[in-house]
Amino acid sequence: MGIESTATDLAMTKSIFVTGGAGYIGSHTCVELLCAGHSVTVFDNFCNSTPEALNRIERISGRQLGRVQGDVRDPRALEDALRASGTTAVMHFAGLKAVGKSVEMPRQYYDANVVGTLCLLDAMERCNVKTLIFSSSATVYGKPEHLPLTEEHPLSATNPYGRTKLVVEDLLRDTFAADASWRFALLRYFNPIGAHSSGLIGEAPQGTPDNLLPFVTQVAMGKREFLNVWGNDYETPDGTGVRDYIHVVDLAIGHLRALQALGQGSSGQCTAINLGTGIGYSVFDVVRTLEQISGRRVPYKIRPRRPGDVAVCYASPERAERLLGWRAERDLQTMCTDAWRWQSQNPQGYEC
């Protein structure tokens, strides 16, 4: 199931339907899909993204994509768009993703993430499209019992966002058990950061960033006064939490490898795969690297630990390398360099 060459990718070009394709990870994946020769239709309601991201995807790739504005909880709109696109496979990024907000409004998260996936599966079955790459998360591992985290680690979740991902994973496993003609890849992301090297697309949070690096770059830009560091008394080298940060382009390339793997052989499959580097970096590692690259200070204040946060979390990427022929290539300096280029060239995100 390994990847032989880019030529092989181009010889197996497909029509790919991408839900949430204007979002952070979806937009970078659309670039890689188009550059590999695939045709792409984006289905997005733009609730936390913007159509401008699609314009920039086309600028980077030099190719056009299909655009449908719609919600994954609208079965009729999904079915119409799937049929019109002539799709052969779906990449499912649409959903809500902020851990803190999921605690505040859990029903909205179950509605968007779980009900949305149910509607998508129903529409796919009616259109006889049975290949799906699902945007899952390392949050399905809960509190790590051992490191690195392998795909066999016990599954649990410590917040509503993580539970919605786990419920969808169970839904896909149960769907496959009932009908083995489905082909599912459950890609468990660790901590995506960085941006496309062009500086044209990147992470553009609305309001206060939920993730570390956009907050750090906004502090470095002077948009925010200081960074909150949630705990400096963990049993880690510098006392701050350690995470497996992965460049968003490496993550996007992992989706292409999963797409090819699902297209091989005659039988269905349902496989969970970590997409991480296998390397842990602390909060202060990220801050110091960004300071070095930007030449700017990042003031911070130490705050108490947040409930549910763990000291260390990083992946075992061995299954991805074995099944997909994929391994992350970009280091922390590249991640921070690309994130800083995006932030400094687009201080208001996609807003002109």
Q: What does the pLDDT look like over 307-326, one tens digit per residue? A: 878 899 999 999 999 999 99
- pLDDT at residue 265 in the model: 65
With tokens 């410590």, the residue in question is 158
- pLDDT tens across 7-53, in order? 334 446 699 999 999 999 999 999 999 999 999 999 999 999 999 99
Q: What is the spatial distance between Cα 271 and Cα 134, in angstroms, rounded to a whole number? A: 10
With tokens 């937009």, the residue in question is 27
* Confidence (pTM): 0.95
**CB atoms near residue 285 (< 10 Å):** 18
Active-site hit among 110, 141, 161, 234: 161
Q: What is the spatial distance between Cα 3 and Cα 136, in angstroms, rounded to a whole number? A: 22
40 DSSP β-pair partners: 16
Confidence of residue 277 (pLDDT cuts 50, 70, 90): very high
Amino acid at 202: G
With tokens 């497996």, the residue in question is 244
Please give the structure tokens belonging to residue 332: 């922390």
Q: What percentage of the chain carries pLDDT values higher than 90?
A: 89
- pLDDT at residue 99 in the model: 87
Q: What is the spatial distance between Cα 246 and Cα 188, in angstroms, rounded to a whole number? A: 12
- Per-residue b or e along 194-205, where b marks 16 or more CB atoms closer than 10 Å to that residue's CB: bbbeebbbbbbe
Q: What is the spatial distance between Cα 277 and Cα 254, in angstroms, rounded to a whole number? A: 12
Distance of CA 203 to the CA centre of its chain: 11
- Per-residue b or e along 86-115, where b marks 16 or more CB atoms closer than 10 Å to that residue's CB: ebbbbbbbbbbbbbeebeeeeeebbebbbe
Q: What is the spatial distance between Cα 82 and Cα 328, in angstroms, rounded to a whole number? A: 31
Instruction: Find all residues with CB under 8 Å of 213, minimum gap 6, and list them.
Output: 193, 194, 203, 245, 286, 290, 335, 336, 339
- pLDDT at residue 263 in the model: 86
**CB atoms near residue 128 (< 10 Å):** 8
Task: Please name the residue ranges forming H helices in 244-331.
Answer: 248-262, 283-294, 318-324
Q: Are 227 and 219 in contact (CB under 8 A)?
A: yes
230 DSSP β-pair partners: 303
Domain segments of the chain: what residues?
12-345
Q: Is 161 a catalytic residue?
A: yes
Assign domain 12-345 one CATH number from 3.40.50.720, 3.40.50.280, 3.40.50.2300, 3.40.109.10.
3.40.50.720
